[in-house]
Structures are given as structure tokens and as C-alpha cells.
């Protein structure tokens, strides 16, 4: 039974029993305490906590999840994985144990021909919390499980809570006996390798207090409304039903693993190290694909860092298996998309965009590996130069933290050089970093996001604030509620910062890249509120943020909402222009140029899209010309609502990674552009006036950003450009069209002149070498030259001078120190003869002494080293410090 069929049967079973099938939420968690959805119950958490009203008291889902705390264990075992899917059924104050337990048993044991999973009853065992007699009795008396196959366990195994004060309760887990060849008899309390957990039923019936760990907390009492939360791991269930040893041999993961083996010329099951790498690749490619599909982009912090680490571990393990070339991730990603596409059709629709992001990250990391290798070689040279055989933990950590160099790669390369790595030091620094991150997370963590106040206001507004802003910029409404510092208040006086909820409003809440409206809300009492921002923290709720200006605002007041018309129109022009530019780039670059974000401001917009590399200037110019032709044609702009399936059928573009409901709003600009969009737009394309593309740049791996001006802002920009070009034409005494060639010629001549000047300066610096060698001071038999070069002398010239002077002092112990301040920052170079090294002196140590005085650092070989700092005013002190050190040798 394939994984997609396992999910289909589970959802169908519960749908037939009155459960609402809830589509998988995005991996991007709404809960601010989570980076990613890490459990099937996460999207249902607000309902279970009573913070929001559930759409149904009975729900079921197949939820995408990502967990990474044990990422280093992935591949080493066949149990660990980062991406997994949780099948669950949920009861919010509806049925409880007496129905949840028979539901589970029925689905598991019902023959496959009748829509069940067909487990033999005699091979199923259950566990219950040690004092949960109620569950034990249901299993035994109602379901018919023999008492000897019902085992009791303590809080560590069979009691659930979220780790913070709130709902909690006992669990009952269902285990499948895989047979004596997998371990000892005696049930799950004896051997959990033989007895495999397939389903966990959580009976949420108590409230817990504060405490640590899984057991050290008080039970405060029963909940007013009891809930059911169950979880069945889809991958684990698929492994059992497909008769394979572990999740990596199930249909979806195996397809990626098998392809990775073929691409790298290896075979799974022959050699442990290769198997570990293949499992890492299979899991991480699938995880990365699913994360990118949900709009996550590789980055250096937050969920972007999680994605980057997952993708780079994949690439690293491909390298361990002998793959050196780019492009393998593209093929493996394609396999993952096809493997998961039946369950998640959006993967097929957005395949080009997923490839663009992952391909770019692969290329970026391969470049990082090249850079990191150069840094590694320097670290090896320094280690050997110090006579050591162990690469310092600080160096390994720097390679990992700064250059993204995996520690296992550092270990491998060090071994090839005959060195080991101070792993304890590396782990200590990693632990310190993790502890800092955990502390930051604890400080930021607010527990459960309490939206109950907002939910109550939404209910007061009739369950949906009516947005009238598409057709009206002013409208009468009722002030439903006032919030001050998050608390619902009956009134707020002049000067108070407030959040206002109206039952209907023309104000557009920030979303879809469009900035929020501003304006004023005038109240029947005579007070008015200056609106500075508008947000939608809950679906259907619009919150106006502002300051009370004059009088007292009171809940229940009649309100007259007035949007800043000029700002709204300017933003609407930008939003329509964004749609046109999006369409233009897709025509020019293909479907892979998918929107990855935008910001529509008054008169200006930025548009982010996926691309494998920089966009040529010629393409920018062509897109700009094409968009402005659309403006001249003055196309009609039409918005309408339809089903998501109908919108897709007519080719409407959806924002990559965005989630949509069953009904969507489509915005058409003639036949040129058609997108799903909830924003505001112009009535006709000609109202934009003009679009001027300013340029494009990279904002991350596989993502480019275009910035442009619209309307009067574009006209003003071109007017300034025209004045500037006229001024240049007059100064250069040439026609406008000849300016580029004329300026290019001037720049070329300037560069040639600068090169000549550099040569002259270098000659002047080197001419001083003979005199400096003759003036060397004698410090206990060591010739010492300490020279400050003129400011502006380049670092290369300083180095040449030091080496030249040293050459004139060969045959005797000599130390040459040359310092200068190129570009206002001090640089010091120290060169030693062989005689000075025989006296125990080392250039690297002396440079370190000088650089420390200058407020910086440096290093190098024993005979030649270079450093720098931040304080050029202390060059004299640095010279003196080195002179004293040489004199004491």
C-alpha cells in the first residue's frame, strides 16, 4: 500500500464518521514560538486551548512536519528523519475515550478490502497510563483486547503535555508485533524494536502546572472541555504495510535514496558509511523540497538556516559518496517532487521554482566549499608551523560557523593531512552557541499565543469584518472594540495608542506585499483616531492601529472611516505594476521566474522572483518596454471571485508558497496578466502612467529583486536623469548619445594613469631599501629595521619593501618591520632572516604582538607575516613593542 493510499484511507475513514478533513497547514508555523510545524496537532493548538472557535468539533488531517533537534542522528539510524507526516483525528469537546479507542481499532483491523489497514488483531498490543483504568477497561471490555496484551506505563512514556502549563493527559499507544526475529517477547515494555508503535491516542483531560521535564509538574485539575488528539506516523505505517524494514525503504523515500545510489555509483546495504550518507540524502532532499514548496528560502537565521543546513548536508553527503559536480541535487529534487506529488499536487505546479531555489543553493555551497578549502589550508599551515598535530577547535568552529564548512568535512580533510581536530573544543563552542540560541529563544518565548481577545472581537463583529475598500474609500461603521496594550477596554482618551476593530471598513490591511492604508476614523462622539497601520492578525479580522486625537473613543460608537485617498491610489498603481512586471519576466525568462515576495509602496515597488542568475540589462529593458506598451493600450483591469480549481484552469498565477482557500479572488489586466490577489488595483492600466525599472540585484540564493518606480515618481526620476545627462553633455562637450563612449575613454585613461602612479610609488618605496638596511640598529647582535612608510603606501608595496630590506641583510640575524596606513587602516609586515629564526624569533608571533597593539590581528609563516588593526595612530607604539621583543631575544 503506497503512502498516498495510507493517507487517503485514514482521512476517508474519519470523514465518514463526521470529521472535517483539514488540509495540511504550511510548514511555516503560525505559532510564534515555533520556527516550523513539528507535530500534527500544532495547527489545532488554538482550538484545544480555547483561543479560537474550531470550524468543526471533529477534524482529521495529514500534516506535514519538520523536526531538526536530532538532525545529526539522521542517517546513522533508520528511525530518525527530519520530514515526516502525521495522520491525526481530533475531537474538540466532542467524543472522548469511549469512541476514540474503538475508532483506532476499527481502522487498524478492518480488512483492506473494506477500506481498513488489515492488521491481525492478535499482533496488536496497547499501553495505557498506569492509573488510567478507564482506558484499560475500554480496550479490554469494549474492544476485546486480552488483558495480557494491555500494558501500563508511567508518565515518561504514557502521559502528554506541551511542556508548559496548560492541557495535558494520559496516552494510549498501539503497537504492532513484528515477530520473534525482531527481538524478545513480552510486549512493548520489553522490546520496542520488535513491538513497533503505530498510533498514539492522547486523552486531553487535565490541566498541568509549572514544572520541568516529563514528570515533575503538578496536575491542577480536570479541564472544562476534554479533547482528543491522536497521531499516526504515515512513514512508519507505510513501512509496516509495505513489509519493509524501515521508513527509508518505503515508496517515497526509497525513490530518492535509490536514485542517489545510482548517481553516485554506490549500492545501498553494502557498506555502513555509504548507507548513512544515502539515508541523509534521501531524507534531506525530501525535507528541503517540501520546505521550499512552502515558501521558505535558504538563509543564515531562523527557518532559512534550517533549510540551508538540510540542503548543504545533502550536498556534503553526495560529496562523501564521490560526487563532485553540480546538478545532482536538481535530479534528486525532481525525484522527490514526483514521489510526493500525488499527495501534494502543488509540488508539480511549482516544480520550476523549487528547482531554481535548490539549484542556486547547491551552486552557492559548492563555491563555499572552495572558499572554505582555502581557509582550511591556511589553518593547516598555521598548525604545522606551530609544530602541532591537532587543528584547534576554534579554527574548526570558525570554518563551520563563518564559512558553513561541515565538521565532518573538516575531520576528513584534516585526516588526509595527517592531523586530528580538537573535537572537544569544537563541541564546546558549538554548545555555547546552542546555549545562547536557547536562551534567546526562552527570552522570546511567550508560551501560547493568546488570541482569545481578538477572537472575541471577531465574534462581536459577526465572525467577519466586512471589507468595503474595493469600491469605497469612506464608509460608516460601528466601533466593535478597543484594545490598549492588548487588553480590551471600554474607552480610550486623547493621546492613547489603540487598536480598533470596526464591523466594516474601507481600510486595507497589510498583506500580499501591499502596504496598509492610513487615514482617520471619526467617531460620533466627536473624537477621531489617526490610523497609522492596519493588520489582519486573524483570518477575517481587520485591526486599525493608531492614536486617539481629540475627545474620547468608546466601544459601540458610530464611526466614519476615511482612507488617505492619494496614498491608496499610489499604492494601487504600484500593485498593478507589480503584476505587469511579473508577467513580463515570466514571458522573458520562463515559468521559473515566479514571484517570491513584493512590496507595493506609494509610487515605488519592489518585486522578488526566483532566478538562477543575474538578469541581463537587455532583458530588463525589454520587460520595461513591454510593460509600458501595456499601459499605452489602456487595458481593462477586472477582479472577480471563483473557485481555486477554476482559477488554476484559466491559468491564474498563485504566489509561490502561499496557501489559498477554496474560493479565491482573481485580478486580470486585459489578457496580459492574470493572478490570484486580494489587493487593490487601478481600473485601467493607462492610469499607471509610466513604469521605470531601476535595476535588479541578488537578495539570496536563487532569488533576485527588481525595484521600479510608477506614475509621477517615474516621471520625476526621468526628468532628473534628463537634467543630469544634459549637464554631462555640456561639460564633456559632446552629444548625449556619445556620452557613454566618451566617459568610458576618460575612465580608461584614468586607470592607466593610476597604474603608472602605482609603479612610480612602488619604485620610490623600494629605493629606500638600501638606506634602511644601512641604518639597521643592533639589538644584542640582531639587526633591526623598524620603518613607517608614507600614508597611502599599498600593502603589497609594504610587503615588497620588507622582503627587499631582508634580502640586503642576509647572512646575519635580522628583523625587518615595515608599517603603513593604506586607506587609513594600519598594516604591518615583518620579515626575518634565517639567522633571526635560529635565535628563536618568529615573524608570526611578532606580527601578533604588533597587531594587538593596533587593535587587530594577523599571522603568517615564521619568516614572513602580515597583520593589521584599526588604530593607525598607534603605529609608533607597535614599532616600539616589536623592537623591545627583538632586543630581549
Q: Which of 479, 478, 465 is nearest to 508 (CA)?
A: 465
Q: Could you tell me the strand order of the sheet in which 595-601 lies?
A: 595-601, 604-610, 703-710, 691-700
CA-to-CA distance for 384 and 377, rounded, in angstroms?
A: 11
CA-to-CA distance for 19 and 45, rounded, in angstroms?
A: 17
Q: Check if the beta carbon of residue 234 is closer than 8 Å to that of residue 40.
A: no
Q: Which of 827, 819, 828, 826 is nearest to 788 (CA)?
A: 819
DSSP 781-835: TEEEEEEEPPTT--HHHHHHHHHHHHHHTTTS-EEEEEEE-GGGS-EEEEEE-HH
Q: Which of 161, 90, 153 is nearest to 125 (CA)?
A: 153
Tell me the CA distances in angstroms from 373 to 328, 370, 388, 419, 866, one per residue in order: 21, 5, 20, 15, 21
Q: Check if the beta carbon of residue 813 is closer than 8 Å to that of residue 833.
A: yes
CA-to-CA distance for 393 and 429, rounded, in angstroms?
A: 8
Q: Check if the beta carbon of residue 813 is closer than 8 Å to that of residue 777.
A: no
Which residues fall in the annotated binding site for Zn(2+)?
575, 579, 677, 681
CA-to-CA distance for 212 and 524, rounded, in angstroms?
A: 53
Which residues fall in the annotated binding site?
575, 579, 677, 681
Q: β-strands 543-549, 528-535: how paired?
A: antiparallel
- The 3-state DSSP class for residue 346 equals helix
- Helices 328-340 and 302-320, axial angle in degrees (round to 10): 110
C-alpha cell of residue 434: 546552542
DSSP 788-799: EPPTT--HHHHH
Place of cell 643592533: 778
Q: Where are the beta strands (DSSP E) in 209-318?
A: 219-233
Q: Which of 300, 235, 251, 290 is nearest to 80 (CA)?
A: 235
Q: Check if the beta carbon of residue 310 is closer than 8 Å to that of residue 300.
A: no
DSSP structural state of residue 39: S
DSSP structural state of residue 144: -
Q: Check if the beta carbon of residue 721 is closer than 8 Å to that of residue 607.
A: no
601 contacts: CB under 8 Å, gap ≥ 6: 515, 571, 574
Phi, psi (5° rounding) for residue 705?
Answer: -130, 130
433 contacts: CB under 8 Å, gap ≥ 6: 401
Q: Check if the beta carbon of residue 469 is closer than 8 Å to that of residue 517.
A: yes
CA-to-CA distance for 364 and 309, rounded, in angstroms?
A: 13
Tell me the CA distances in angstroms from 14 to 41, 91, 205, 343, 880, one per residue in order: 16, 11, 22, 18, 82
Q: How far apart are the first and last CA of the chain?
A: 79
Longest Cα separation, the chain? 105
657 contacts: CB under 8 Å, gap ≥ 6: 26, 28, 293, 294, 295, 296, 350, 596
Q: Check if the beta carbon of residue 451 is closer than 8 Å to that of residue 32.
A: no
Tell me the CA distances in angstroms from 180 to 79, 183, 184, one per residue in order: 20, 5, 6
CA-to-CA distance for 791 and 768, rounded, in angstroms?
A: 15
Phi, psi (5° rounding) for residue 321?
Answer: -85, 5
For the chain, state the CA radius of gyration: 34
Amino acid at each position: 500500500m503506497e503512502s498516498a493510499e495510507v493517507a487517503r484511507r485514514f482521512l476517508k475513514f474519519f470523514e465518514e464518521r463526521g470529521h472535517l478533513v483539514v488540509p495540511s497547514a504550511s510548514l511555516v508555523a503560525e505559532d510564534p514560538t515555533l520556527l516550523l510545524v513539528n507535530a500534527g496537532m500544532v495547527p489545532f493548538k488554538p482550538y484545544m486551548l480555547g483561543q479560537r472557535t474550531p470550524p468543526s468539533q471533529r477534524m482529521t488531517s495529514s500534516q506535514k512536519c519538520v523536526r531538526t533537534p536530532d538532525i545529526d542522528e539522521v542517517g546513522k539510524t533508520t528511525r530518525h528523519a527530519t520530514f515526516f507526516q502525521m495522520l491525526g483525528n481530533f475531537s474538540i469537546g466532542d467524543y472522548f475515550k469511549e469512541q476514540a479507542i474503538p475508532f483506532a481499532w476499527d481502522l487498524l483491523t478492518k480488512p483492506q478490502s473494506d477500506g481498513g489497514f488489515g492488521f491481525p488483531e492478535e499482533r496488536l498490543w496497547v499501553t495505557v497510563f498506569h492509573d488510567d483504568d478507564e482506558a484499560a477497561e475500554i480496550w479490554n471490555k469494549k474492544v476485546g483486547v486480552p488483558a495480557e496484551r494491555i500494558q501500563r506505563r508511567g508518565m515518561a512514556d504514557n502521559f502528554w503535555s506541551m511542556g508548559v502549563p496548560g492541557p495535558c493527559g494520559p496516552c494510549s499507544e498501539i503497537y504492532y508485533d513484528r515477530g520473534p526475529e525482531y527481538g524478545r517477547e513480552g510486549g512493548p515494555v520489553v522490546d520496542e524494536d520488535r513491538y513497533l508503535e503505530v498510533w498514539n491516542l492522547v486523552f486531553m483531560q487535565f490541566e498541568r502546572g509549572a514544572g520541568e521535564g516529563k514528570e515533575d509538574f503538578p496536575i491542577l485539575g480536570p479541564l472544562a472541555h476534554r479533547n482528543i488528539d491522536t497521531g499516526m506516523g504515515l512513514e512508519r505505517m507505510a513501512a509496516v504495510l509495505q513489509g519493509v524494514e524501515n521508513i527509508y525503504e518505503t515508496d517515497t523515500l526509497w525513490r530518492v535514496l535509490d536514485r542517489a545510489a545510482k548517481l553516485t555509483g554506490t549500492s545501498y546495504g553494502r557498506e555502513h558509511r555509504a548507507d548513512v550518507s544515502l539515508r541523509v540524502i534521501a531524507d534531506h532532499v525530501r525535507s528541503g523540497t517540501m520546505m521550499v514548496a512552502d515558501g521558505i528560502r535558504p538563509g543564515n537565521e531562523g527557518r532559512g538556516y534550517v533549510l540551508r543546513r538540510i540542503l548543504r548536508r545533502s550536498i556534503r553527503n553526495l560529496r562523501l559518496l564521490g560526487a563532485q559536480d553540480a546538478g545532482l541535487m536538481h535530479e534528486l529534487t525532481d525525484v522527490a517532487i514526483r514521489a510526493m506529488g500525488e499527495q501534494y499536487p502543488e509540488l508539480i505546479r511549482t516544480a520550476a521554482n523549487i528547482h531554481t531555489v535548490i539549484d542556486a543553493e547547491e551552486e552557492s555551497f559548492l563555491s563555499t566549499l572552495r572558499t572554505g578549502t582555502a581557509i582550511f589550508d591556511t589553518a593547516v599551515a598555521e598548525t604545522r608551523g606551530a609544530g602541532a598535530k591537532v587543528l584547534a577547535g576554534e579554527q574548526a568552529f570558525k570554518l563551520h560557523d563563518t564559512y558553513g564548512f561541515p565538521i565532518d568535512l573538516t575531520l576528513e580533510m584534516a585526516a588526509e593531512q595527517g592531523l586530528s581536530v580538537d573535537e572537544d573544543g569544537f563541541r564546546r563552542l558549538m554548545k555555547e552557541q546552542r546555549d545562547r540560541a536557547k536562551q534567546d529563544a526562552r527570552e522570546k518565548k511567550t508560551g501560547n499565543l493568546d488570541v482569545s481577545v481578538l477572537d472575541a472581537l471577531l465574534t462581536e463583529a459577526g465572525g467577519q469584518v466586512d471589507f468595503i475598500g474595493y469600491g469605497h474609500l469612506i464608509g460608516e461603521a460601528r466601533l466593535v472594540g478597543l484594545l490598549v496594550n492588548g487588553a480590551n477596554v471600554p474607552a480610550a482618551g486623547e493621546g492613547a495608542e489603540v487598536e480598533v476593530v470596526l464591523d466594516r471598513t474601507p481600510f486595507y490591511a497589510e498583506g500580499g506585499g501591499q502596504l496598509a492604508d492610513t487615514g482617520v476614523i471619526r467617531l460620533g462622539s466627536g473624537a477621531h483616531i489617526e490610523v497609522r497601520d492596519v493588520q489582519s492578525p486573524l483570518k477575517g479580522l481587520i485591526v486599525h492601529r493608531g492614536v486617539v486625537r481629540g475627545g474620547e473613543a468608546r466601544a459601540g460608537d458610530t464611526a466614519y472611516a476615511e482612507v488617505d485617498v492619494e496614498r491608496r491610489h499610489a499604492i494601487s498603481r504600484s500593485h498593478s505594476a507589480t503584476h505587469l512586471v511579473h508577467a513580463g519576466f515570466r514571458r522573458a525568462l520562463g515559468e521559473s521566474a515566479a514571484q517570491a515576495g513584493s512590496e507595493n509602496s506609494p509610487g515605488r515597488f519592489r518585486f522578488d522572483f526566483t532566478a538562477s542568475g543575474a538578469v541581463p540589462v537587455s532583458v530588463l529593458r525589454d520587460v520595461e518596454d513591454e510593460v509600458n506598451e501595456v499601459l499605452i493600450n489602456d487595458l481593462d483591469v477586472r477582479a472577480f471571485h471563483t473557485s481555486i480549481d477554476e482559477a488554476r484552469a484559466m491559468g491564474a498565477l498563485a504566489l509561490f508558497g502561499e496557501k489559498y482557500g477554496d474560493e479565491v479572488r482573481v485580478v486580470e489586466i486585459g489578457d496580459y496578466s492574470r493572478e490570484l490577489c486580494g489587493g487593490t488595483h487601478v481600473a485601467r492600466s493607462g492610469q499607471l502612467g509610466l513604469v521605470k525599472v531601476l535595476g535588479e540585484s541578488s537578495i539570496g540564493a536563487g532569488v533576485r529583486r527588481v525595484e521600479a518606480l510608477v506614475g509621477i515618481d517615474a516621471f520625476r526620476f526621468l526628468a532628473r536623469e534628463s537634467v543630469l545627462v544634459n549637464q554631462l553633455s555640456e561639460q564633456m562637450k559632446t552629444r548625449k548619445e556619445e556620452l557613454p563612449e566618451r566617459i568610458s575613454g576618460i575612465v580608461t585613461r584614468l586607470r592607466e594613469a593610476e597604474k603608472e602612479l602605482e609603479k612610480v610609488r612602488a619604485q620610490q618605496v623600494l629605493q629606500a631599501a638600501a638606506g634602511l638596511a644601512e641604518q639597521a640598529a643592533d639589538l644584542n647582535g640582531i639587526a633591526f629595521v623598524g620603518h613607517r612608510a608614507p600614508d597611502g603606501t599599498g600593502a603589497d608595496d609594504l610587503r615588497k619593501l620588507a622582503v627587499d630590506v631582508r634580502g640586503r641583510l642576509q647572512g646575519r640575524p635580522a628583523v625587518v618591520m615595515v608599517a603603513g596606513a593604506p586607506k587609513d587602516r594600519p598594516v604591518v609586515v615583518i620579515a626575518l632572516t634565517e639567522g633571526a629564526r635560529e635565535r628563536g624569533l618568529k615573524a608570526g608571533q611578532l606580527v601578533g604582538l604588533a597587531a594587538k597593539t593596533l587593535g587587530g590581528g594577523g599571522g603568517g609563516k615564521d619568516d614572513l607575516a602580515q597583520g593589521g588593526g584599526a588604530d593607525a595612530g598607534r603605529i609608533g607604539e607597535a614599532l616600539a613593542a616589536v623592537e623591545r621583543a627583538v632586543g630581549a631575544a
